[in-house]
Amino acid sequence: MPRTVAAFGDASRDACGKKSMNGTRSLVSVVDDDESVRESLPDLLKEFGFAARAFSSPEEFLASDCVGQTRCLILDIAMPGMTGPGLQQELKRRRQEIPIVFITAQRDETVCSRLREQGAVACLFKPFSDTALLQALNVALRVS
């Protein structure tokens, strides 16, 4: 049975920074072309006490009203169209400083090392543990 995290605001409210009566929760946005990730990861993030919003592409994220409200971005590396690293560069170009946790099914430590050198907080290989994700998020939110 999933854990319920209380006192983090009204989970039924819009996840893009609106305040609830109980305060605000840090918004973590997920960008992944895999529908199963977009469906499951926000539920886990909500269990951790975060507000969560999922996007199917970097372009959809950039067009949303959530960019300025996002405190951490969980970002797939390989996607059709703009890639995760492409979004990272676009955010830098726009001077949007959002800590990024990359996730990938491709076990290539060279790519992950390069992304960390370019400012990513972490790079997790799918499937990753809840604990590894929470640790990466905690580091990311301390950075921001």
Q: Which are the contacts of 120, defined by CB distance < 8 A and separation ≥ 6?
A: 88, 100, 101, 102, 112
Of 1-15, 57-71, 119-133, give the lowest mean pLDDT range.
1-15
127 cis-preceded (ω within 30 degrees of 0):
yes
| Strand boundaries in the chain, DSSP class E | 27-31, 51-55, 70-76, 100-104, 122-125
pLDDT tier, 24 (very low <50, low <70, confident <90, very high otherwise): confident
The CA distance from 140 to 108, in Å, is 22
Tell me the average pLDDT across 63-72: 96
Which two three-digit tokens encode residue 137?
Answer: 């998020």
